[in-house]
A and B are shown apart, each in its own frame.
Chain A
Amino acid sequence: MIDLSLLTDGGVGWLDASGPSSHLVLSTRIRLARNLAGRVFQGRNSETEREDILQTVEAAARDTVLLRRAIKFRLDRLERTDRQLLHERHLVSKELAGLDADGRVRSGASLLVQDRLGVMLNEEDHLRLQGLHSGFALDAAYAEVDRLDAELGQRLAFAFHSEFGYLTSCPTNVGTGLRASVLIHLPGLVLTKEISKVLQGLAQVGLTFRGLYGEGSEVVGNFFQLSNQTTLGSSEYELLDHLGKMVRQVMEYEEQARQVLLRDAPAIIEDKVWRAYGLLRYARALSFEEAMNLLSGVRLGVGVNLIPDVGMYTLNKLLVYTQPAHLAVAEGVVPNDPELPVRRAQFVRKVLESEVGRRG
């Protein structure tokens, strides 16, 4: 079993709800795709080459300021539950964690992580630099990852083309290699049925959305990850600026939708959010999906000041710790244990009771 206490804040510092607009935006993530020059990409390389990439990058990282104290996780040597745990914390992709349908972990698949910065190694690209910040913080998150990119770039030769920019295994990432994502909670737009219009509008301006766990994941609990679709033809700042403007616009729409709900259907909304709270507080078995949807309702209630006694940090914690691998590890069972829904309900009750007790 891996010891996540080694990580600062257990690796979930981004959940502290301290960042800007954190009542709507959970986290901001930046990733840069990089490959080492003169080496074949991951899809065609051998176990030995992947091992060599790992050694080379780790040596360079130990020489930097930003990753000098990094903790290394070798995904290829971890049990499935531990890999799932790292994935649930948004520290590694589903692919790197070997949680795809075939369930195999690639040899050499690793993660280096220090504070809010990390590097996934032997993912689709040799390196995936990433930074995760609390709330809506595109500029701050990018600035940090950019510094890491500069530090690593001085110590490693990256594959770069004068016209195409940073070369990546998949041409969808070429150029800047930048993917910026904002994890945002949009229950107002879902309830007012405006969400599809908003999402279609985003697609028209070159943005895309994904579910809670990134590429290929489904939307649960009204959480959407909004991110840039293209990586080439615009500078990093233009990409971030564009995404930032659009996210601010979406946040405004969400606030308006909530006002409309409170104005036109106050009793229905009040009933909905308190019902969600009541179920979380007293239910005896909760599936993960149900818990996520109820947490979404309570989050809305807290956001529009209908539910006074619950903090955003508590809701964020519940979001993380009710996930299958987290709960399983805490309870000493396996993630597909049939008893898990009962344990989840117990856990949620305990947290909410202590929250009410604490606030008196």
Chain B
Amino acid sequence: MSCEQCREREAVIHLTQIVNEQVTTLHLCERCAAEKGVESPGSQPKTPLGTFLAAMGQELPEQVPAPRAGDNCPRCGGSLQDFRESGRLGCPECYRSFEVPLRDLLRRLHGSTHHMGERYSDKEPAIPNEPRQAAELREQLRLAVETENFELAAELRDRLRVVE
């Protein structure tokens, strides 16, 4: 498909927008898209995270030390810079390696950092009462963390460990 603007280059950006209550889709090449002020995959990571990451990039220096050459995930070698560019993490361990900035990002993306869904261990045969009790504790824990009642949170976390 060629660009609807210049009709020369290949359209690589498909912009769906709502104008005058009509849903329209524009097919543009990178250059025409840039002229229209649309961020292209070249200038932004090709992910729905683009704006969040951009915001994160601006605010990061104040919150955490700027990534240094050595600030790589020990498991996969990936850095925060790699994440900013690709929008994807390198490995499960990255969630620990970059916990502080990720926690902030998760809160902005999802409004929470606490998984409330099925636990991986729930899939194994378990004593029926346990998951429910654990779920209740987790909910209390979430509320405690949200209200910044960290003493209670610590206690709940310990109790949760026993239950799980």
Pair B102/A236 contact, Cβ less than 8 Å: no
Residues on the B chain within 8 Å of A42, using CB: 88
Q: Cα distance A35–B94 when bound, in Å?
A: 13
Pair A171/B117 contact, Cβ less than 8 Å: no
Within 8 A of A (CB), among B76-122: 76-78, 86-92, 95, 102, 105-106, 109-120
The stretch from A132-140, A191-199, A243-251, A343-351 touching chain B is A191-199
Pair A230/B14 contact, Cβ less than 8 Å: no
Contact A230:B111 (CB < 8 A) given known A176-B117, A196-B18: yes
Pair B86/A43 contact, Cβ less than 8 Å: yes
Q: Cα distance A175–B113 when bound, in Å?
A: 9
Q: When the two chains form the complex, which single residue of A164, A178, A196, A199 contacts B95, counting CB atoms closer than 8 Å? A: A164
Residues on the A chain within 8 Å of B124, using CB: 153-154
Residues on the A chain within 8 Å of B48, using CB: 172, 215
Pair B18/A171 contact, Cβ less than 8 Å: no
Contact A40:B111 (CB < 8 A) given known A170-B47, A196-B18: no
Contact A176:B118 (CB < 8 A) given known A40-B75, A230-B110, A232-B113: yes
Q: Cα distance A42–B87 when bound, in Å?
A: 13
Q: Indicate with 1 or 0, residue by residue over B6-46, a CB within 8 angstroms of chain A CB atoms.
A: 00001010101010011101000000000000000000000
Pair B88/A124 contact, Cβ less than 8 Å: yes
B83 to nearest A CB, angstroms?
Answer: 9
Question: Please, which residue of chain A has its CB at the minimum distance from the CB of B53?
Answer: A171
Pair A238/B115 contact, Cβ less than 8 Å: no
Pair A167/B112 contact, Cβ less than 8 Å: no
Pair A174/B106 contact, Cβ less than 8 Å: yes
Pair B88/A154 contact, Cβ less than 8 Å: no
Residues on the A chain within 8 Å of B112, using CB: 232-234
Residues on the B chain within 8 Å of A124, using CB: 88
B positions within 8 Å CB-CB of A: 10, 12, 14, 16, 18, 21-23, 25, 47-49, 75-78, 86-92, 95, 102, 105-106, 109-120, 123-124, 164
A positions within 8 Å CB-CB of B: 35, 37-44, 101, 124, 146, 149-150, 153-154, 158-167, 169-172, 174-176, 178, 190, 193-197, 199-200, 211, 215-219, 230-236, 238-239
